[in-house]
Amino acid sequence: MPNQVAVKRRLSRPSLDSGPSLPLGYVLTVTELTQEIKHLLEGRFSEVWVEGEISNFRAPPSGHLYFTLKDESSQIRAVLFRMQARSLRFLPEDGLHVVCRGRVSLYEKRGDYQLIVETMDPKGVGALQLAFLQLKERLEKEGLFSEKHKKALPMLPQRIGIITSPTGAVISDMLHIIHRRFENIHILLYPVRVQGEGAWQEISTGIDYFNRRNDVDVLIIGRGGGSMEDLWPFNEEGLARTIYRSRIPLISAVGHETDYTISDFVADLRAPTPSAAAELVAKDKREMKNTLHYLRYRLETQTVQKLQELRTHLRHLQKILGTPEKALEGAFLRIDELFIRLRRLMTWTLQRERERSVHLDQGLSLRSPIRQVTGCRYLLLEAQERMDRRIRYTFEIQRERMKGIFGKLNSLSPLSILARGYSITKRLPNLEILKDAEEVFKGDEVEVRLHQGGLLCEVKERILYSSFFSTNEGDDK
């Protein structure tokens, strides 16, 4: 039976497209079956639109985006490759409801079918709007919109830098308004594109250019109204960060009053329109003149009023103090009195300080290092003499004590006994001291220790002596 199956597999493999099923008994490998299923899926679902919620979203370093599309009862794996992911205006995330266009394919190594996504749009909100909201939330958390970072506009700028398109009504309206309101202001224009690919980079370059020059008082970036796609360069993160690090106060004037961009939130001031920006930055010269005239009138009036009040107060003081001559006489007397008191106080203070100085001088003389060192030298010599006497006395005592000890040791030493004619006999070879003649035998070798030197002897005969103090019982009998 296995041979028949092998023969059948070696036959030419028919395609699944030729009929509803394979010939009876034909056996497919796993790879062949997987490839057939993949061909069927890709041929049947070459372009599909799928709506669902994103879950298990992953964005590895490769740049490919992996996620799962699910609804209430089903789910399907999906992948958005790096080239297609670059064109997304928003960042996918878990829980986001999206509509995807792509094709169904089969991942052969695992046998899983998946959706290869070509385009993706959020459900219910545009991609640009979602990207705008995501970027706004992220930059706000970073603190780019903080009021603490915003710089105040100069009251009367001398030089204004404008970054916008050199053509169109925007720059013409701004120049006309600024010239009409204050014709002495110097305008510097940095021409850029305000829509399309690369526009935000040109605007950022313009901001950096004016910051390097550092000779303008305020900057204006802006353009006229348009769709969200037209205004999108002002929603780019790169431009927002360039505005944030600008050292020059910056006004964002993009679109109409209802249009809001990321640049508006980061800038130091938002103007609803470019024309409004020109009015905000350039004060009306006539109004300023009128204001100055009014302030001058108020200053003169208040000065006259203040002088009148001071004059009245002076007259009141004259009535109280009398004539200036009497006031001066009293002042002179007071000065003389204070001078006498000051001289007495200075004399008393100098006397007290002199006495204190004498007392300190005496104290310092007693505490002079030279006197203290001399006294210490005398004490040291006296102590050294006492110590020498004590050492000699102690040495003599110890010498006499040692003589007595040496005498006792000499009298008790076995060597002194040997000097009187005695000897010490040791049995060889263990050098055991002999006390009795019965402990050796004839022919044994012994060592005899004398006072000077020694003898090596051989026992010829043992001689036994009775004790000097013992009593011979036979004699008594």
235 and 159 belong to one structural domain = yes
Q: Specify the amino acid at residue 63.
A: G
Q: What is the DSSP string of 384-402?
A: HHHHHHHHHHHHHHHHHHH
**pLDDT, mean of residues 323-351:** 82
* Listed residues 283, 316, 349: the one ending a domain: 283
pLDDT in tens, 368-393: 777 778 878 888 888 888 898 899 89
Q: Judge whether 271 and 222 are in contact, CB under 8 Å.
A: yes
Please report the pLDDT score of residue 19 as a whole number: 47
pLDDT score recorded for residue 327 = 67
Task: Name the band, by pLDDT with cuts 50, 70 and 90, for residue 246.
Answer: very high
In a domain, 361, yes or no: no
Over the stretch 133-176, which tens digit does the pLDDT of each residue have? 888 888 889 999 898 999 998 888 889 999 999 987 888 889 88
Q: Distance between CA 305 and CA 207 in Å, rounded?
A: 51
Residues 89 and 167 in one domain: no
SS3 label, residue 168: coil
Q: Is the residue at 321 inside a domain?
A: no
- State the average pLDDT over residues 188-211: 92
- Is residue 347 pLDDT above 50, yes or no? yes
Question: Is residue 185, in this structure, part of any structural domain at all?
Answer: yes
Q: The CATH number of the domain where 181 resides is what?
A: 3.40.50.10550
pLDDT at 208: 94
Mean pLDDT of all residues belonging to the chain:
82
Write 144-150 long-range contacts (CB < 8 A, 24+).
144/240, 144/241, 144/244, 144/265, 144/266, 145/265, 145/266, 149/244, 150/268, 150/269
Task: Give the pLDDT score at 473.
Answer: 41
- Structural domain ending residue among the three candidates 99, 130, 161: 130
Is the separation of the CB atoms in 250 and 270 below 8 Å?
no
Asked if residue 163 and residue 218 are part of one domain, the reply reads yes
- Of residues 25 and 233, more confidence is placed in 233
What is the reported pLDDT for 472?
Answer: 46
Task: Evaluate whether residue 400 is within a structural domain.
Answer: no
Q: Using the predicted structure, report yes or no on whether residue 18 has a pLDDT greater than 50.
A: no
Contact between 171 and 161 (Cβ < 8 Å): no
Shared-domain flag, residues 155 and 272: yes
Is residue 405 assigned to a domain? no
Q: Are residues 107 and 211 in the same domain?
A: no
57 shares a domain with 110: yes
Q: Are residues 182 and 258 part of one domain?
A: yes
DSSP letter at 150 equals: P
Task: Please tell me the predicted confidence (pLDDT) of residue 466.
Answer: 62
Strands 97-107 and 112-122: antiparallel
Do 239 and 119 lie in one domain? The reply is: no
- Whether 159 and 87 map to the same domain: the answer is no
Q: Does 112 lie in the same domain as 196? A: no
Query: Where does residue 408 rank: exposed (0-12), middle (13-18), buried (19+ CB within 10 A)?
Result: exposed
pLDDT of residue 244: 93
Spatial distance between the Cα atoms of 225 and 306, rounded to a whole number of angstroms: 55
Decide if 390 is inside a domain: no
Q: How many domains does the chain have?
A: 3
The residue-averaged pLDDT of 456-472 equals: 69
Q: Which of 283, 306, 330 is the last residue of a domain?
A: 283
Q: Is the pLDDT of residue 397 over 60?
A: yes
pLDDT at 323: 66
pLDDT of residue 98: 83
Residue with tokens 């109204």: 225
The secondary structure of residue 472, as a DSSP letter, is -
pLDDT recorded at residue 197: 86
| 323 in any annotated domain | no
Is 309 within a domain? no
Q: What pLDDT shows up at residue 461?
A: 84
Is 119 in the same domain as 180?
Answer: no
Segment holding 93, helix H or strand E: none
Using alpha carbons, list the distances in angstroms from residue 247 to 78, 98, 192, 384.
46, 41, 20, 82
Give me the CATH number covering residue 124.
2.40.50.140
Average pLDDT over residues 177-194: 89
Q: Where are the alpha helices (DSSP H) in 274-323?
A: 274-281, 285-321
Identify each DSSP E strand in 37-111 by its residue range.
48-58, 65-70, 75-80, 97-107
Structural domain that includes position 261? 151-283
Question: In terms of domains, do 155 and 278 share one?
Answer: yes
Single pTM value for the model: 0.46
pLDDT of residue 271 exceeding 60? yes
> Number of H helices and number of E strands within the chain?
14, 14
- DSSP states along 207-271: HHHHHHH---SEEEEEE----TTTTGGGG-HHHHHHHHT-SS-EEEEESSTT---HHHHHSSEE-
pLDDT of residue 201 exceeding 90, the answer is yes
